[in-house]
Amino acid sequence: MKKINLSFLALLSLSAVCSYGQAAATKEQKEVIANLDKKKDHYGDVSKKIWDLAEVGYKEVKSSAILEEELEKEGFTLEKGVAGIPTAFVATYGKGKPVISILAEYDALPGMAQEAVPERKVIEGQKAGHACGHHLFGTASTAAAIAVKDWLKQNGKTGTIKLMGCPAEEGGSGKVYMVREGVFKDSDVVLHWHPGDRNSANPASSLANISAKFRFYGVAAHAAGAPERGRSALDGVEAMDYMVNMMREHIPQETRIHYVITRGGEAPNVVPAFAEVYYYARHNNREVVKDVWARIVEASKGAAMGTGTKVEMEITGGAYDLLPIESLSRVMFKNLETVGGVKYTPEEIAFSEKIIATLPASTEAKPKYTEAETVPAFSTKIEGMGGSTDVGDVSWAVPTVGLSTATWVPGTPAHSWQAVAAGGTEIGKKGMMVASKTLALTAIDLFKDPALIQKAHADWEKAKGANFKYEAMVGNRKPALDYRN
């Protein structure tokens, strides 16, 4: 995913926060929380299994199966392989309205293997790691769905709880295809969460994005003996990169463009016949993204023309910005406040202090581990993410609300080895349980009070605008199941 920008939280005074478990809970809420606490060790084991597997997007075969098994044994009906994606699934319990859906993710990031220790230590032989905490994401959401199922059953309530198994959030846009295929059409409200370094349920948005691989084809030749006979595909990539980098001065300053050269040739003495570069473009306005992307595509064509090569482009992902709904965020926040933050043991304090010592210098105040304990006061200011998420597309298809919890040591950025390390410890598991409890309590509130759903839909319709029509940023292409190859 995405770097969650919560730096403003560190500036709030102590009078503006509630501490661990401070807000009063009702008898019913206490029972839901207690039932989840009874299973915290089990869910911790589930998350650790997925952490160990560290399967990347669209290859989460074992990870998705673990969550499917948990749900099946709890009486959920499973629909597997939805939207043409083998690792996507929908688990359903109950009947009738309302239909509340909870999102689950479980893909890892390539190149992020890391042991659960407070210093950089790569796991030998492992190529990926959960640097965005999706092992916790999927497990907490599953735990919440099961807790809601238990509540529906015990109270004889009508309604349907769904767990949406969503693969390949990291650049693969799994949810986009699920939205496009109508997987969410029956949902009344969708709940989600994300691992982070602090606790928040404020209304938030994100950056829309488009990503693609540009493949250049040239002519191989001996780089010394007959260079005039060759046409370098790598020259095409480098010419494109140079032109795109010059564009940065002439695009909206909030735009983000980043790339990696995934193939650059095989040997220096062979003119590369094939080279590939992988691009992302982002902005909080998706129309700006489309405009910038069109210019990137033109740069690729110009690069091919100037180097005597050919270029092909494959869109691999694309996502909308998140559409926040304040009324839903208030419901979520109230429950996060009830659950409270994460309390560290002495051993976890020592771990956190070692992690904080490894974090790069920042203009912000030095983070403190105690920030994980607090739930800062609710803010109506729309929080921005420094990254993108395919939850954005879901939020334009159905009213959607989310939160972030402190599964990482405060100050830890997403997509870092420090995030992987904390996610494999009790610190990550504790934050995961904060999320599962908050999700469960929020879903139960929605089941109990139809007016909350009606208000959310009215606010959502207004926020979308009367003329909104959904068109996926990925176009009509099929899921890019091989984008991690």
Per-residue pLDDT for 285 more than 50? yes
pLDDT at 11: 34
Structure tokens at 215: 């493949």
Mean pLDDT, range 464-484, rounded to an integer: 96
Mean pLDDT, range 394-416, rounded to an integer: 97
Give the integer Cα–Cα distance in Å for 415 and 129.
9
72-92 per-residue burial string, b: 16 or more CB within 10 A, e: under 16: eebebeeeeebbebbbbbbbb
| CA-wise closest residue to 283 among 214, 385, 415, 177 | 385
| CA-wise closest residue to 380 among 284, 464, 459, 287 | 459
Mean pLDDT, range 101-113, rounded to an integer: 98
Residue type, 246: M
Three-state DSSP class for residue 21: coil
Three-state DSSP class for residue 334: helix
Going by pLDDT thresholds of 50, 70 and 90, the confidence category of residue 34 is very high
Per-residue pLDDT for 117 more than 60? yes
pLDDT at 179: 98
Return the number of other C-beta atoms located less than 10 Å from residue 120's C-beta. Answer: 11
Through-space distance between the first and last CA atoms of the chain, rounded to whole angstroms? 19
Three-state DSSP class for residue 267: coil
Going by pLDDT thresholds of 50, 70 and 90, the confidence category of residue 361 is confident
| CA 477 and chain centroid, separation | 22
Q: Is the peptide bond before 86 cis (omega within 30 degrees of 0)?
A: no
Neighbouring-strand partners of residue 216: 275, 311
| CA-wise closest residue to 433 among 43, 29, 1, 22 | 43
Going by pLDDT thresholds of 50, 70 and 90, the confidence category of residue 4 is very low
| CA-wise closest residue to 116 among 102, 130, 95, 98 | 130
| CA 177 and chain centroid, separation | 15
Question: Tens digits of per-residue pLDDT, 292-328?
Answer: 999 999 999 999 999 999 999 999 999 999 999 999 9
pLDDT at 5: 44
Residue type, 230: G
Per-residue pLDDT for 105 more than 90? yes
Going by pLDDT thresholds of 50, 70 and 90, the confidence category of residue 21 is low
Give the integer Cα–Cα distance in Å for 422 and 117.
8
Going by pLDDT thresholds of 50, 70 and 90, the confidence category of residue 17 is very low
Mean pLDDT, range 425-451, rounded to an integer: 98
Burial (CB count within 10 angstroms: exposed 0-12, middle 13-18, buried 19+), residue 465: exposed
Going by pLDDT thresholds of 50, 70 and 90, the confidence category of residue 363 is low
Question: Tens digits of per-residue pLDDT, 263-278?
Answer: 999 999 999 999 999 9
Per-residue pLDDT for 262 more than 50? yes
* pLDDT, averaged across the chain: 94
Per-residue pLDDT for 98 more than 90? yes
Contact 184, 178 (CB under 8 A): yes
Going by pLDDT thresholds of 50, 70 and 90, the confidence category of residue 385 is confident
Question: Tens digits of per-residue pLDDT, 239-257?
Answer: 999 999 999 999 999 999 9
Mean pLDDT, range 173-184, rounded to an integer: 98
Going by pLDDT thresholds of 50, 70 and 90, the confidence category of residue 8 is very low
Mean pLDDT, range 51-70, rounded to an integer: 98
Contact 479, 177 (CB under 8 A): yes
Alpha-helical runs (H) found in 18-133: 27-38, 40-53, 61-72
To which H or E segment does residue 405 belong? strand 400-406
Per-residue pLDDT for 128 more than 60? yes
Going by pLDDT thresholds of 50, 70 and 90, the confidence category of residue 10 is very low
